[in-house]
Every structure is written in structure tokens, then in C-alpha cells.
Structure 1
Amino acid sequence: MKWGASCVVLALELVCAEQASAQTVTRYNFDIPNSVRAAAIQAIAHAAGASVSFAQPGNKSLHEVIKPIRGKLTLAQALSQALAGSEWYVESAGNGQVRIARSGGDASDIIVTGQRDQLRKEDSNLLTRSDTPLKNTPGTIVSVTQEVLASQNVTSLSEAIRNLPGVTYTPGPPSQIGSRGATTLGASFTSGLRNSAVGGDAPTIDVESIEVLKGPSSVLTGTAVAGGLVNFNPKRALGVSPAEFDFAVGSDKYIRGSVDVGGAISSDNRLNWRFVGLSEYADHQDNGGNAPHSYVADAIFGYRDHGWKIDASSQFYDTRIVYGRLYYDDLTTNTVKPVTAFSNDDNYYRTKSLSQNLSLERDLTSSKKFTLRLRSRLRYQYAEQTLQNQLYQGTYNIGLPQIQELVTGNSSFSKNKQFSSSTDIYAKLATGQLTQQFIVAFDYAWQNANQLARSYSAFVPSQPATLEPLPDDNTYGRSTLHATRKDYGVVVQDQIAWGAFHALLSLRQSWFDLTSRQQFIYTPNIYNNNADQRISKLLPTGGAVYELTDWASIYYTYQKAITPPQLNIQTYPGNPFPPSISTGHEAGVKMELFGGRISLTGDYFRKSNNNLPLVDPAHAGFYIAGPGQKSEGFEINQSGKITPTLFLQSGFAYTVSRDSKPLISAPRYQANAWILKNFKLGDGQIDLGFGGNYQDGTNLVLTNYSTGVTTYPKFPQKYLRFDAAIGYKNGPYKLNLTVNNLFDRFNIYTPLVATNLYQGVGREFRLVFTTALPR
């Protein structure tokens, strides 16, 4: 049935907000007395911040008198009460939408979108593969929305991560995002689909939110990463966002312009378009390298009609990421000292990426008791990455009169093609108090990588430490890499809701195929290093949530994941290095406080893995399988509004090793906070923001490649920074000033290797002017 057909009874639409990604869980206080159905629906829409119009005002069912609607209810619950006894019913449509459908009719008759709290994300599909309120999700998912990033003038992943409790960032490539004592190994995902391995730190200007699923999990991604899953939720074309333009200036000759515009292509507003663009550049990064930049163009399309929900986009970005100044940990004095053997101001990695994304969803059948839905997502990404970087390896006495400092360099050009897809059949069955959501899914990811690289070394001061040019087909000492990787699997899952009890049962069969061919060319000699690996593993995931009250629930989850080794990890006999199996246990409490305005999660976790690579002491350049690591800890995360004008996003995480081997690049103590307060000033509004980040208790890894001995010294410094923002809004205009690292404190990014420590960004200013045009 088409939108606008004669049988459509009502339509609710936004007046000033984007699509509600969270209205299915946001609760409102309703007190609607006995009234006719049309009046009750109007009152519900008003309470949820929406407007309502009726295509057929004379429809008989609209003038029937209904019972009172009272209490704290979601939009869907209130509408269900208002429509009780009629031919219409309400159901969740995923992605935060609510459908009003007619029994026996097309389920896309009406789509209702209510106002939401844009500063926090209240549902996710990372663990459950279907949009589920975080309160009912048996696991910990932390996120940051575009609205919070805009309040901080943030456009980069490195700065966005500071908002996520218990999550750390170490510059790449690949950039390491850590959680619970392990890292992502550079892996990231868009709408649950794997991104290119050389995609770099993708920009954040065209995302609605960034999420991290804590702990090991392979339900969504197949072969996974033990430290957590990083997922980008892209912006969509829904025809409800106002056109926005901004211009910014800042310290270090920073300049930026961005645009976010959209509208309807079809006369009935069923086909919409959106364009997001960014151009930003600086002379240099404070305490870092030269000429960072980010250029983004994203064309987005969305279609809603005939029961179809289709989203498509074409994204291009060009980023140049530079490094902070280089330091090392001097173990003799237990202090951090600058590397003086060379300057790394010109070190960088640059990524160019072009991707195509397509999402299709359609209800095959739908009624009040049963829904059968087909969903499919596709992503193709081609990325190129250029790297020029020098690293410090410490001091050596090689028989010369003075101590020598060893410097190694890397220059490489990489090309990567990534295709990712997922298709599933979703069935929802409601019988009385019992609701079951079955999913049978198949996903497939294919990746082809080619790299031309050169590594070199110099002993300073007897040799100069200079940045070498990129290699070509005639460069002496070059290496070539050709690799093909396939990840695919089948998932069978059941999500059960029975009154206050919610359960997740999932079983996944994962397959992993890798073919790698590497050559080291020292004319006329050629050395080969080939690897082939095949992995097949059946992994379970399960969890349960019990709602103690309407504002508090307890939960437990059990997760397993399999992580293949990196391409450069080889055993001396040439056998494939075994994969790492991670196991996670987590228990906690979830609460919605202050009338549901703020969510709080507290959890205790235990995690273990095996087959970690250790340097082979008998064969330089090769590895042996180590015993793995065990960690445990607890976390507290908060997000939401304490009052209608005071927003808080904060957290604390404590992580410690459960065996004699300390965790690497995993702070024992982490804390973060971002507070936003707004108040009226004349005809405008003042927004004040303040927050900070704290890390302490990190261990490094230090390997003596001459002896093969590895030690884990404790890093002697704390990480502490404060950030502030002040903005003024008046009508469609906003001026926002942010200061990062307010007190210009010396910080080191979450450290990994003791000889190469990157300084965090110093004090930076950003002043952004934004104007929004009416829809």
C-alpha cells in the first residue's frame, strides 16, 4: 500500500529532530483522560515532541471513545493503548522507528518517528543483530553521538574515542583501540560490516554515532578482535534534517568548512537525498607533524515505500594523519625523554578511500503476532594508504668509541579491496507475554591486499637518519605482499522476551581463509615468506537480562571470539600461527535514572585468551605461541541528562591482569567525563561544556632482539587532560569555541612499545560558526 493512499488514517512526523534512534525506549509521562481516539493520538504526539495529521479525518475509528492512557510509557506503548480495539496496531520497525500498520494490510502504511534525546544512543544491534534497547541488551555497549562530537568540534576518530569509557587510542597504522586489556588490531566496522584494513582512521563528520561493544564477540563479525568491536553508524537520508553549513578557524593555522544538506527527490517525499562534505587543514598539529588534513564527500540516498526500506551511499575521503613528537622511556632514570636522533615532524600516513554502501529491508509478512523480514547489507571499499615513518630502537654499543642510536624506517604503499555483506531472515513471534525474535544469517567478507614496502635502518651519529622516499619496482631491499582473506559464517540466534526476562542465545559457525605471498627482494636475491591458513570454529554467545523494576535490570553474558594472527606473525618452521580464542564473562546492572533521562551501567568482567605471539629467542624475526593473558575488572558508565538542561557522559574503568604477566597498553585506571549545560540568555542560548580524561597504571613491552628477552616495565607517567567549550545559539546561528588540553599538559598517547611513545596533542583552539537553513 502506497504512502498517502486512502486507507492511511494518520501520520506523525518530526518538527525539529532527526529520525528517532531511541524513541522505542524513551519514556514519557502520559495523563490522557477518556477521549476520542483522534484527540488521544494528538495528545500522545504532543507529549513525544511530534506533530500529527489525519489523511481521513472522518474515519469512523478515529471518533471512537477510548480508555484513559496514564503512566510512564514509550511512544509505542502509548500508541498501542490508543489503537486498542481498532484494526490498527503498533510495532517496532527497527532503526528506532515505530510502524502503525493495519491488520491484513501493508506494514508500511505509516511510519511514526518521535522526538529523541540526540545526545545519547539508547539502543544498538551490535550484540543482538536487531535494534534492542541497551537496558535489555546482555552486554556493555558504549557510544558517542554526532551531537556530542559537534559540541566538542570533533571530526576525527582519535578525538571521538575520548568520550567512550574504558576505551583507549594509540596512533597507527593501524591505530589501536583498546578495551579490557586487548586491542582491535586496527579492525573497524560500518553498520556491522568490516572496513578495509588500510582504511585508516575514518573521519566522523558523516556518522550519526560511534559504538564500541566491550569484550570478545563474533556474533556480528565472524573472526573478531578480542578487545572490542568499533562500529560506525552512518548518517541517512530521511528528509528531516535541516541544511547546515559551518566555517571554522583555529590554532596552528587550522581552517575548516563543512556542509550537511538534503531534501526530497520524489514528490511524495519517499525518496530523499543528503550530502555531507568536509574540508579541513592545518599547518601542523600541535606537538606533532606537518600538514594534517581531512577531505570528505558522502552522497546518501534513502527510499521508504511499498514496504521497502533502502539506504545507499557513496563515500570518499582523503586523510593525512600525522604523529606527535617521539619520546622513549628511559628505564635507568624512570623518566620519559625526547628522541633527539631524528625529527619525526614529516612522518605521516595518508589514506584515500572510496566506498559504496547499500542496505535493503522489507517485511515479507507482518501482523500483530508475527513478522517475517528480509534484511541485506553490502559494502565495498577500495583504499590506498601511503606510510612514511621512522622509529627509535634504543641505544647500542657496536664497538665504536661512542654509543650508537638505532633508527629504523618504513616507507610503503598499500592497496586494499574489501567487500563485506550480510543477509538474514528475521522472524518475530508474539504469543501472550512471550516474544521471540529468530534470526538466521549469513555473512561474507573478502579482502585483497597488495603492498610495496621498504624498511631501512641507520646507526646515529655514524649514519644520517633521513626519511627515505617511497619504494618503486627498482628499489633495493623492497618487499612485496599479496594477500587474500575471506571471513564468512552462519548464525542462528533466538532473542527471547518473557515479561521481565530477556535472553539471547546465539551459535555461529565461522570460517577463515588466508593466502599470503610475500617476497623480500635484495637484487639479485629473492626470499619468499608464504602463508596459508584455514580456520573453522563453532562459537556460542549467550546472555540474560532480568528487569527488577521499570528502571533497573541485572544481566549476565558469555561471549567467545576467534582472532586470526596478523600477516607478519610467522613461526620458524613456516607453519601457520594458531588463532587466538578469547572468552569473556560479564555481569552487571543497568539503570535508567531521573525519569529515564540518564542511563547507568555497572559491570564486572573476566576475560582470557590464548596463543599470543612471543618473539622466538632461537630464530630472529619469528614467533612462538605464548600462554595468553587473563584480565578482570569493573566499569561504570553514565550517559544522559541529569536535568533537562544538564547532560553528562562519563565513566570509570579498572582493569588488571589475573596472572603474573601484566597487561600491555591497558591502563589500570581510566576515567572520562563530558558535561554540557545550557541556559537561556535573551533570545538565545548559552552552551557550556567541560570534561577530561585520566589514565594511569600502564605497562609497556620492551624486547631485546639480541637476547630475545621481553620485559614489561611500568610506564612512569599519568595521562591527564581537560577540555572546555562555550557556544552561543540564536535562531539558526551558532558560534562554538572549544579548547582541547586546556592546561597544555604534557601527555603520551596510551603507550605500547617503550622505545616509541607519541606525544598527545597540546592545547588547541577551534572556533566554529554554524548556520542551519529551514527544511
Structure 2
Amino acid sequence: MPRLPFARRPLARSIAALIPVTAALFCTSAYAQETSTSNDTVVVTATALKVDTPLVETPRPVSSVDREELETRNVQQLDETFRYRAGVLSGHYGSDNNTDWFKVRGFDQSTYQDGLRIYREGFYQWLPEPYGLERIEVFKGPSSILYGEAPPGGLINAVSKRPTETPQGEVNLQLGNRNHRQVGIDTSGPLGESDDVRYRLVGLYKERDGDLNATDNERYYFAPSLAVDLSEDTSVTFLASVQKDDGVPVNGFKLPYGTVENTPFGHIDPQTNLSEPGYDRDKRTQWGIGYELRHAINDTWSFEQDLRYSELDLELRSTYALSMIDERRASRGLVYRDGSIDSWTIDNRMVGTWYGDRTENTLLLGVDYQNLSLRGQEGDNYAFGEPIDIFNPTYGNFTPIAEEDLLTREIDKEQTGLYAQNQLRIDDRWVLLGGVRYDQAETDNRNQTAGTTQRSDDDQVSWSGGAMYLGENGVNPYVSYTESFDPVGRVDDAGDLYDPREGRQWEIGAKLAPFDWDGYVTAAVFDLEETNTLVTSPAGFQVQEGKRTSQGFELEGVGYITDALKVTAAYTYTDARLEGDERAPLIPRHQASTWLDYAFTGGALNGVTLGGGVRYVGSTVDTSVADNTAVDSYTLVDAMVGYEFADGWQAQVNVNNLTDKEYVASCEYWCYYGESRSVIGSVKYSW
């Protein structure tokens, strides 16, 4: 089993630093061996900082999951990634087949792919396919300093698979419950005899029924990439992908009545579908193309440019339960969207590094630009069809939404950002980090049907700073301050644009990476605040009210106890509150998880790997009702077994929610059952 990587930084007194997995998984697939005298540089590409820096040496909280762990746990959708990391909540809306849901430190987050923002406006959701990813990173807390507009919780960055210098490939076949079927192909290597030009082709077909009756999704995915070394100083990597999804959306909206509340008729079965499966539809096509350019100007300065153009076409009809009208029946609503969204994103950076007798200084100067256009028809019917029996639903009692009930909306959004960040390292002991960013954002929201236009023009200066001490024993304490700025491109129920949300965070922590242990432990205490926050009203609409705070503690570790036994563990305490000191909905105070991997390397079980995990999510509250309904805590068990039975061949079985526990994951006006048991078997051939 691979060992955890580490990195070396040369300076006046060159020292070796073991990199924690929270940062070290940013590296390439090659692993370094520790030596005490070598002056070779092995650095980690730190997406969080946009410069090459071992994150064990920077006051920023980051966790990462690499390709090996994605395969070990057979992650099927993005929001399954961080189940065994601190500070991240997922699964609170159950298993959704058309949206990835995360909460980071009690707040929403923004999603990026390859360091560039993925636009997710309203129901237009770009969905990264996990099979096409090399790793997934979470940057916790406000991150506007380098990425511009972002919620205060942080950001998720999905890193695409890239061409490799060594020829390699695999074919992966999967079968599972809920009619899961998947075939994936991944091949990479040099084009021709030289490795100056390299390619990678990733393709996948997947279909599976949803976790509600009569729901499903079918996906086609193809991602080619090409890396070209134009010279010793210049390289460019072209990245492209196209993905097509077609199915019936999993609409898990249920009401407290029949889920967390008792009724004369018992509880609603978790798989009961209260939508219109014969009418509902989720059809989307997304594609993107771009490049990453790297050019070394001289020994001090380099230029980097990332660019992507993307499009998303969506046809969505989604019916949901709205409110109870008697002891058995609920009224229903309908969401209708038919449109497209296209965006340009470009990020330009100059990075300079120079050395003094006692110092190393890295200066980052950048300018980025984001442009978003949304065009489409939309409708929201809050009295759709006849009421439905929530305990024994029958379908078809509705009239399809009419053309005259739709409005045509256009949203145009532009943002330009200028940023600077400086990292100063003194005597191999102190790291000082500071940054500033200026953003200018414009949003036009036009209701073409009504002939009205709303415009917001916002600008913001964001600051960040931090300091870390690098201990001789591998214990590195730090303190940091960060800010965020988020112009919300959506409208409220009256069709008005929301005001920008602003966030700020203080954090004190430590990163422990002892030199004699293959692993890491991180600990952090944070205090986070957002103004102009969005909350769900008693009527079920998103409204903007006051401020929201989150204070907490996180503890996370990954390491090898023996050569064969690897342990991943995390604990999170989060006290999230709304204006008036009311506890925030959805967010548990306590979360804890542990995952163990054991690889047999001899005897009758040679080639067998066993894995298992336990996830605990504490109780939450629903503040949209008068009595603040409590939602019970739950504990889930996951397991896997793998077997390398021949050269290049591996079989594996993964089971999530091993005991098929039935539980309500959360409530916020609506309630959501958690995902039922998932069983997937796979066979992979690699070369």
C-alpha cells in the first residue's frame, strides 16, 4: 500500500517536512523518499494558495481526497467525498441524483474545477463526474482573497485527471443494487516515442435507479486531455469534457408530518415518491474546454494562465409536496426550468520567488475575469395538480404547465478581480502570509415577460493574513484571518436580486506532521460570521435576514499505525447560529468518523484488503416551525473488501449504510430521509 508523501523545501538551512494528507494529496502521483542531505526540491502544487507550497507550512485549512481513496470507497458522486473529513456536512438532503450538496463549517460553499469556478445558479447545476477526477479538495473558510466571489464556508475544487508520462490504462466494470450498471475506460501516456506530447482519454457510461420509487438517471461522460511541452520553459495542458444526463429527478422533499412527527397512519416509507414520475424530467448536457499554460520567464518569475469556456443546457420538471391539507393529503408545487447557461473564466498569475540569507519570499500577482450568461424559461406553480395521498400516492392527477404560465428570464453577470499575496519565510521557522483583493461585480436580471430589469453593481476589497511557526518536532501552530464576498446571482420569491453576502473568519490551529511518523494530525478552532445571510422562511422561501455565525473545533488525522493498517479519523464541533442567537437548521453540533484500511501481504489472504468506517452525525433542529422540531442523531456503517486475484486484476465490493438504517437526515421546513443501503461490486483491469 502506498505511503503518505512528504516534501522538502531548500533554504539557508534545508529541512525536511512531512506533508499531511490534508495538503500532501495536492502532489503528483510520484512519491518522494526522505533524505537529510539532498538539495532536490519536491513541492506540492497548492491549489488553495495558487503557488507551489507544502500546505503543512501555511496557515490555511485544507483537506483533500486522492484517487486511491476515491476508488477505495467507490465514490459515486461528489458529495460523498468528504464523509471522513472534518468540517464538511453532506447527505443532509439524502441521495440526490441531480445536485451535489455540501455544508462547510455550517455554511454553503462554492464549487470549482481545476481552480476555475463552476457556475451553479439556481437549478442550473454543473456536476463533476468522480471517475474523471484525480483528487478533490476542500478549502475551509472564506476564500475570496484568491478566488473572488465565494460563500464564507469555503470552496470545493475538483481536479481533473491529466496526461501521464508513463503509459497506463484501466477498464472498470460495476454492478449494484438499484440497477446500478457502469463501465469506465481510462487510458493515458505519451503520443509517439517522445514524452513531450501526452494524452489522456477518460470515458464512462453509468445508469442507476434513484433512492425514491420510479426515479433514475443515465449518464454518458467523455473527457480527453492533451499536454504539450513547447520548450523547457513552457507547457500547456488542454482539458475538455462532455457529459449528458437524462432521468427522473430524486425529489426527496417530505414534510415533518409522517417523518419526524407521528400520524394515525404511521410514517411515510422512505422510498415513497410524492412527485409525478411520469411527468418529471431532468435532462442536462454540459461541456467545457480550456487550457492551463505555464511559462518560466527566468529563475525568479513565472507566468500562469488558466482558461475555460463551458455550457450547460437544462430541461427540468420537478414536482414536490408543499403542505398538508388534511390527515393524508398534501398540496404540491412544480419547478420548471428550460434554458442554458454559458460562462467564460480566465485567471492570469505572475509568481516570483527570491531568496535572502535568512528568507524566502514568494509574491503572487493576479487578475481574473468571470462572465456568466443565463437564458431560459421558468415557472413555479404552488398549486400544481390535485393533492396527493402521502401514504398511498397515485399519479397523473394534474394539468401540465402551460406556455402562458412561463416567464423568460435572462441573467448576465461579470466579475473582475485583482489580487496580490505575499508569503515570507524567515529562518526556516516563521511563515508570514498576507493578501488583498479588489472585486468589481455586475449583475443584470431581466424578466423579459414582464419587461423589467434589475441591476446590481458591487465592489469589494477583501483581506487575508496569517502566521505560522515551524517547530523542529513537526508541530506547526498558526493563526489566520480571511474574508469572503458573494454577490448572489439568484432572485427571491418576488423576483428581486439578493444583496451580496459577506463573511470573515479568525482561526487558530496547528498542523502536526512528526518526522518519524507516516501521517498527520490537524486541529483548528474557528470563528466565522456572515452578513446578509439567506434563511428559509416559514412559507418555504429563501429570504435574506441579518447575520449568521459559526464557531467550532475540528480535529482530523490520517496515518499508518503499521505498514498494513491505515487510519482516517475526524471530529467536528460546530455551533452555528442565526440572528437573535437562534440555532441554525441542518447543522449538527457534533460529527465524528473513523475509517480503517488493512492490506494483507502474505499467507492465504495475500492480496486482500479490508476497509470499514463508522460515521456519526449529531442531532439538528428545524427552525422554520414554531417549536424548533428536533431531528435525531444517526450512526452509519460502511464497508469494503478488495482482492487482487491476478496480475492487473482487482475485484471489490462496497457497501454504504451496511445495516440499511432508516433515518431522517435533516429538516428545514421539508424533511429528508437519508440514503438507503448501497451495494456495488466492481472488477477492474489495469495496465
Unpaired stretches in structure 2, ≥5 consecutive residues: 10-14, 19-29
Shift of 1:507: 0.2
Asked if 2 retains the 8 angstrom alpha-carbon contact of 1:143 and 1:210, the reply is: yes
Alignment partner of 1:147: what SS?
Answer: helix
Aligned mates of 1:685, 1:27 — CA distance in 2: 33
Q: Among residues 631, 636, 639, which one is paired with 1:721 in the alignment?
A: 636
Q: 1:530 to 1:623 in 2, by over 3 A?
A: farther
Alignment partner of 1:225: what SS?
Answer: coil
Aligned mates of 1:467, 1:262 — CA distance in 2: 52
Normalising by structure 2, what TM-score? 0.86
- 1:545-565 CA-to-partner distances (Å, cap 9, x unmatched) read 111224111011101101123
| Superposition pairs of residues 555-594 of structure 1, within 5 angstroms | 555-569=478-492, 577-593=498-514
Q: Residue 163 of structure 2 corresponds to which residue in structure 1?
A: 237
Amino acid in structure 2 at the alignment position of 1:581:
E
Amino acid in structure 2 at the alignment position of 1:481:
R
Q: Among residues 242, 247, 250, which one is paired with 1:323 in the alignment?
A: 250
Aligned mates of 2:536, 2:2 — CA distance in 1: 54
Asked if 2 retains the 8 angstrom alpha-carbon contact of 1:404 and 1:459, the reply is: no
Alignment partner of 1:220: what SS?
Answer: helix
Root mean square deviation of aligned Cα:
3.2
Q: Does 1:642 align with 2:557?
A: no
- 1:71-127 CA-to-partner distances (Å, cap 9, x unmatched) read xx846x7431xxxxxxxxx445x6x4xxxxxxxxxxxxxxxxxxxxxxxxxx6321x
Asked if 2 retains the 8 angstrom alpha-carbon contact of 1:289 and 1:348, the reply is: no
**Percent identity among equivalent residues?**
20
- 1:620-669 CA-to-partner distances (Å, cap 9, x unmatched) read 99987522111201011112323222222221111113552211221111
Alignment partner of 1:294: what SS?
Answer: strand
Q: 1:390 to 1:725 in 2, by over 3 A?
A: same
Asked if 2 retains the 8 angstrom alpha-carbon contact of 1:512 and 1:535, the reply is: yes
Asked if 2 retains the 8 angstrom alpha-carbon contact of 1:289 and 1:324, the reply is: no
| Superposition pairs of residues 211-610 of structure 1, within 5 angstroms | 211-240=137-166, 242-282=168-208, 284-287=209-212, 289-304=214-229, 305-320=231-246, 322-323=249-250, 325-330=252-257, 334=261, 337-338=267-268, 342-343=274-275, 349-366=282-299, 371-396=300-325, 405-456=330-381, 457-458=383-384, 460-461=386-387, 466=396, 475-498=403-426, 499-519=428-448, 527-528=450-451, 530-569=453-492, 577-593=498-514, 595-610=516-531
Asked if 1 retains the 8 angstrom alpha-carbon contact of 2:78 and 2:100, the reply is: no
Q: Residue 700 of structure 1 corresponds to which residue in structure 2?
A: 622
Q: Among residues 689, 694, 702, which one is paired with 2:611 in the alignment?
A: 689
Q: 1:480 to 1:621 in 2, by over 3 A?
A: farther
Aligned mates of 1:670, 1:179 — CA distance in 2: 12
Amino acid in structure 2 at the alignment position of 1:323:
V
| Superposition pairs of residues 29-108 of structure 1, within 5 angstroms | 74=34, 78-80=37-39, 90-91=40-41, 96=44
Shift of 1:413: 1.8
Aligned mates of 1:240, 1:445 — CA distance in 2: 35
- 1:500-535 CA-to-partner distances (Å, cap 9, x unmatched) read 11121000001111011125xxxxxx5355321011
Q: Residue 742 of structure 1 corresponds to which residue in structure 2?
A: 658
Shift of 1:672: 2.2
Normalising by structure 1, what TM-score? 0.77
Amino acid in structure 2 at the alignment position of 1:735:
A
Amino acid in structure 2 at the alignment position of 1:549:
E
Q: Among residues 616, 622, 633, which one is paired with 2:552 in the alignment?
A: 633
- Count of matched residue pairs: 646
Q: Among residues 148, 157, 160, which one is paired with 2:69 in the alignment?
A: 148
Asked if 2 retains the 8 angstrom alpha-carbon contact of 1:323 and 1:345, the reply is: no
Aligned mates of 2:372, 2:323 — CA distance in 1: 36
Larger relative contact order, structure 1 or 2 (CA cutoff 8 Å, min sep 6): 2
Structure with the greater alpha carbon radius of gyration: 1
Q: Residue 193 of structure 1 corresponds to which residue in structure 2?
A: 116
Amino acid in structure 2 at the alignment position of 1:453:
E
Asked if 2 retains the 8 angstrom alpha-carbon contact of 1:491 and 1:509, the reply is: yes
Q: 1:764 to 1:603 in 2, by over 3 A?
A: same
Aligned mates of 2:525, 2:408 — CA distance in 1: 45
Alignment partner of 1:762: what SS?
Answer: coil
Aligned mates of 1:761, 1:737 — CA distance in 2: 18
Shift of 1:147: 0.7
Aligned mates of 1:331, 1:433 — CA distance in 2: 67
Aligned mates of 1:462, 1:665 — CA distance in 2: 27
Aligned mates of 1:332, 1:741 — CA distance in 2: 19
Amino acid in structure 2 at the alignment position of 1:495:
Q
Amino acid in structure 2 at the alignment position of 1:483:
I
Asked if 1 retains the 8 angstrom alpha-carbon contact of 2:332 and 2:384, the reply is: yes
Q: Does 1:772 align with 2:686?
A: yes
Q: 1:543 to 1:389 in 2, by over 3 A?
A: same
Shift of 1:181: 1.6
- 1:457-478 CA-to-partner distances (Å, cap 9, x unmatched) read 247549986497986xx61311
Amino acid in structure 1 at the alignment position of 2:438:
Q
Amino acid in structure 2 at the alignment position of 1:135:
V
Aligned mates of 1:420, 1:449 — CA distance in 2: 15
- 1:319-343 CA-to-partner distances (Å, cap 9, x unmatched) read 3574265432239974594287935
Aligned mates of 1:549, 1:28 — CA distance in 2: 10
Q: Residue 85 of structure 1 corresponds to which residue in structure 2?
A: none
Asked if 2 retains the 8 angstrom alpha-carbon contact of 1:17 and 1:241, the reply is: no
Q: 1:530 to 1:163 in 2, by over 3 A?
A: farther
Aligned mates of 2:245, 2:664 — CA distance in 1: 22
Shift of 1:175: 3.9
Asked if 1 retains the 8 angstrom alpha-carbon contact of 2:256 and 2:667, the reply is: no
Alignment partner of 2:70: what SS?
Answer: helix
Aligned mates of 2:2, 2:228 — CA distance in 1: 19
Aligned mates of 1:247, 1:559 — CA distance in 2: 44
Asked if 2 retains the 8 angstrom alpha-carbon contact of 1:376 and 1:421, the reply is: yes
Q: Residue 753 of structure 1 corresponds to which residue in structure 2?
A: 668
Asked if 2 retains the 8 angstrom alpha-carbon contact of 1:388 and 1:467, the reply is: no
Aligned mates of 2:143, 2:107 — CA distance in 1: 13
Shift of 1:451: 2.2
Q: 1:529 to 1:349 in 2, by over 3 A?
A: farther
Asked if 2 retains the 8 angstrom alpha-carbon contact of 1:326 and 1:344, the reply is: no
Amino acid in structure 1 at the alignment position of 2:53:
T
Unpaired stretches in structure 1, ≥5 consecutive residues: 1-15, 30-47, 51-72, 81-89, 97-122, 520-525, 703-709
Asked if 2 retains the 8 angstrom alpha-carbon contact of 1:166 and 1:671, the reply is: no
